[in-house]
Amino acid sequence: MAGRLEGKVAFITGAARGQGRSHAVRLAEEGADIIAVDICEQIASVRYPMSTPADLAETVAAVEALDRRIVARQADVRDFQALSDVVAIGLAELGRIDIILANAGIIVMQSSSDDIRAQQAAFDDTIATNLVGVRNTIHAAVPSMIERGEGGSIVVTSSTQGLTGRGGTGTGGSDGYVAAKHAMVGLMRSWANWLAPHQIRVNSVHPTGVNTPMVVNEPMQAFAARYPELTAALGTNLLPVEAVEPRDISNAIAWMVSDDARYVTGVALPVDAGFSIR
């Protein structure tokens, strides 16, 4: 039986591991071909290990194991031209883009004792990746969707921090993360209005903590242990689960980009085990 996304092509950023890889695999299971992008190198202000070319190769293997096509390239979402080049390659090989998942993002963990230059660098890197990178992703890929005239679906990955702002620390990384994740909701709603005449739907997804390498790593655990008041401020999920799995977010996205949700647009969807209402 054909999947819900048979014949579709999805452009996914941050696809080398974590949620991005999970989304690529889940959409491939539904029949989609994939254009996968990831930076696959370290950003100086980020203290946990970021993705590698080997990670991206694992995503390629996972998608190809499902007998789906995939175009995978290294590119930094902060670089609009680099994203545009990947889109051009993907269109040349796969012919179309029907789905855009602006998923790439970073967390910069800081203490209030970090010097002002480090604070500013953390803020700038976070905004450039988590907000400007999202805008770059949409503007690199959506013109081909508009030109084709067959509609489409966009999902931007925000966070519970884009709905609540709980746990702010006043540091550059924290300020940048919360600001970017809130701003993405405004962009999503603006784009939903802009693109509705083209039958392109735009929504955001807001996960609680997800069991991925960005969250589950030694620097993050050390940071949480050093600042227990931050953990207390963030609280816990309403449902009795410490973190959700990437697949939980992917399942929600697979529905949002399918025709099962064909009249769902402009929605900020929490997949957060009740975190936002606790």
The pTM assigned to this predicted structure is: 0.95
Q: What pLDDT score was predicted for residue 224?
A: 72
Question: What are the φ/ψ torsions at residue 47 (nearest 5 degrees)?
Answer: -95, -15
For residues 184 and 131, give the distance between their C-alpha atoms in angstroms, rounded to a whole number.
7
Q: What's the confidence (pLDDT) of residue 236?
A: 83
Lowest mean pLDDT among 10-14, 137-141, 233-237, 242-246: 233-237
Task: Answer yes or no: is pLDDT of 233 > 80.
Answer: no
What average pLDDT does the chain have? 93
CA distance 97 to 170: 39
Per DSSP, the residues of 182-229 read HHHHHHHHHHHHHHGGGTEEEEEEEESSBSSTTTSSHHHHHHHHH-HH
Q: Of the CATH numbers 3.90.1280.10, 3.90.25.10, 3.40.50.720, 1.10.10.10, which one belongs to the domain with range 9-265? A: 3.40.50.720
What DSSP state is assigned to residue 17? S
Per-residue pLDDT for 203 more than 60?
Answer: yes
Residue 18 has pLDDT above 70, yes or no: yes
| Beta pairing partners, 71 | 35
> Which among 18, 268, 259, 80 has a CA at the least distance from the CA of 156?
268
Which has the higher per-residue pLDDT, 215 or 157?
Answer: 157
- Per residue in 137-181, pLDDT (tens digit) is 999 999 999 999 999 999 999 999 999 988 677 788 889 999 999
Query: Residue 244 gets which letter from DSSP?
Result: B
Q: How confident is the model at residue 229 (pLDDT cuts 50, 70, 90)?
A: low
What are the distances in angstroms from CA 206 to CA 80, 151, 244?
25, 24, 12
Are 159 and 181 spatial neighbours (Cβ–Cβ below 8 Å)?
yes
| Distance separating alpha carbons of residues 11 and 266, to the nearest angstrom | 20
Write down the pLDDT at residue 113: 67
Catalytic residues: 177
